[in-house]
A = this chain, B = another copy of it.
Amino acid sequence: MPFNLLLNNISKFIHLESNEQEIFISYLKQKKLKRKQIFLDEGEVCKYSAFVTEGCLRGYTVDKNGDEHVLSFAPPDWWIADMYSLISQKPGILTIEALEDTEIILLSKADQEKLYIEIPKFERFFRILIENSLVANQQRIIDNMSLTAEERYKIFCKRYPTLIDTLPQKQIASYIGVTPEFFSRMRSGLLRRG
């Protein structure tokens, strides 16, 4: 069952009767992405939330100098979308790209709205999901303001241990908010010392 990971994830927050599960599943589509394939490009309107079942996506923006800044990674069991664009249905600023061959489950904005009405429990599920995301984002703002790059890196290692080994360093550097060059220096400094 390809939807097991998602259903299991949901069951942590709400209980679905089997007919509700069926309705839900009827709204889902599967999609495979090749490494480097763009799932959503800057300037597009985001029409889907994506739930990753295999592989990994990254959401990033490009600034006026052409530098990329990673807003989020989405390994298996995570959702990703351009929230701004998804909500407003206006062109977004995020590019979402596969870092490796990746499999996702899609839920369209329109179907998500239907779901809220047909099975109000989903309103609760997504509220909780977004609450948790908000807390994580607020913590990241605080960390960015009050910690050094090295401290932020250590926190990243603790919080996302699985990503450390799989992601290219430059992606982590970009998420942390430093250049790959500085990130490299920082890491070799960390190795030499404690």
Contacts and interface: CB of A to CB of B under 8 A. Distances in A.
B130 A134 contact: yes
Contacts of A137: 134, 137-138, 141
Interface in A115-161: 116, 120, 123-124, 126-127, 130-135, 137-142, 144-147
Interface residues of A, number: 32
Interface residues of chain A: helix, strand, loop or mixed (majority): helix
A142 B71 contact: yes
Interface in A12-46: none
This protein's copies in its complex: 2
Contacts of A142: 61, 69, 71, 93
Given A116-B124, A134-B133, A145 B84 contact: no
Contact of A145 (B69, B126, B132, B147): B69
A167 interface: no
B141 A83 contact: no
Contacts of A71: 138, 141-142
Given A120-B123, A141-B144, A134 B83 contact: yes
Contacts of A83: 131, 134-135, 138
Interface in A65-108: 67, 69, 71, 83-84, 87, 93
For the complex of A and B, the 6 pairs showing the least CB-CB separation, nearest first, are: A63-B146, A127-B127, A69-B145, A137-B137, A134-B134, A123-B123
Interface of A: 61, 63, 67, 69, 71, 83-84, 87, 93, 116, 120, 123-124, 126-127, 130-135, 137-142, 144-147, 177
